[in-house]
Amino acid sequence: MKFSAIFITLVGFFLSPTSHAESLHSPWQQLLSKHVYPINQGSGTEVDYQAFKAQRNTLKNYLEALSTVSQTEFDAWPKHKQLAFLINAYNAWTVELILTQYPNIDSIKELGRFFSSPWSKKFVSLLGETRSLDNIEHTLIRGTGRYNDPRIHFAVNCASIGCPALLEEAYTADKLEQQLTAQTKRFLTDTSRNYITDDTLYLSSIFKWYKSDFEQGFKGANSLNEFIVIYADALNLNQNQQQAIKNNDMDIEFLDYNWALNAKN
């Protein structure tokens, strides 16, 4: 009887939604750890798309595994497991999109058409539908109101130099909070994307495009300025600069975005 009870417990563990959600991302973890490299003293990363292409079958198998997750199974997961799943799906499908034309591509924007962007292209099989990258980001992640975490903008990766770094590991439920915090600080530390000069704070255009997301009360921040002050250390802001930003006494300008491919040279 004791053996049967233990066996049933173990089976339940390995078949649980939590276990499935974590083991599901193991192939993606292996690919990222092999083919994504830190640059600029760790503030960014570059991607070895040629190496990814050599292991494209592994990537495709991972994407197929993601597509087997049903909406019902997904809905049963806690929200941090859902969010890790969606971020991984977005990033992995973005790499696959690049591989459809690599090495004959200099920017993800080349994969769009005259009247549509690459992000609106429906090629992602996920949760029972054929979706676009826009659908994952703006409908499943941002549009539901379930996650309400602006740090996702430093986690989803658009395969461009101007983007926040593609993390060198898969997002997982148990590490998600730590990973999102680290990615936010990592991006703000990158002085090619965010910096302060005299009385002007220069920020990535991400903060302009998604300004409303940074005004929804995350950690008490009801404005972009308040969000920035939360991460003052990453931007190396002194007390006077922090106060000026809080009081809206500092000019903020947004930098041009670099859409060149984030490929390893």
pLDDT in tens, 33-44: 999 999 999 999
Distances (CA, A) of 113 to 49, 117, 118, 183: 22, 6, 7, 31
pLDDT band at 211 (very low <50, low <70, confident <90, very high): very high
CB proximity list for 232: less than 8 A, separation 6 or greater: 241, 242
Give residue limits of the domains in the chain. Answer: 20-190, 192-258
> pLDDT tens, 125-142?
999 999 999 999 999 999
pLDDT of 122 higher than 80: yes
pLDDT of 216 higher than 80: yes
DSSP 193-257: TSEEETTEEEE-THHHHTGGGGGS-BTTB-SHHHHHHHTHHHHT--HHHHHHHHTT-SEEEEPPP
pLDDT of 143 higher than 70: yes
pLDDT band at 178 (very low <50, low <70, confident <90, very high): very high
Span 110-123, mean pLDDT?
A: 90
Residue whose token pair is 């949760």: 127
pLDDT band at 22 (very low <50, low <70, confident <90, very high): low
d(C-alpha 59, C-alpha 57), whole Å: 5
Span 139-164, mean pLDDT?
A: 96
The answer to whether the beta carbons of residues 201 and 191 sit under 8 Å apart is no
Pairing of strands 251-254, 200-203: parallel
- Phi first, then psi, for residue 20 (nearest 5°) are -60, -45
Quick one: pLDDT at residue 19? Answer: 46
Q: How many CB atoms lie within 10 A of CB 61?
A: 12
pLDDT of 202 higher than 70: yes
pLDDT of 10 higher than 70: no
Quick one: pLDDT at residue 265? Answer: 85
Between 4 and 122, the more confident residue is 122
Quick one: pLDDT at residue 20? Answer: 47
pLDDT of 11 higher than 70: no
Span 182-206, mean pLDDT?
A: 96
pLDDT of 104 higher than 50: yes
Instruction: Give how far the C-alpha of residue 104 lies from the chain's centroid of Cα atoms, to the nearest Å.
Output: 25
The answer to whether the beta carbons of residues 150 and 187 sit under 8 Å apart is no
pLDDT band at 21 (very low <50, low <70, confident <90, very high): very low
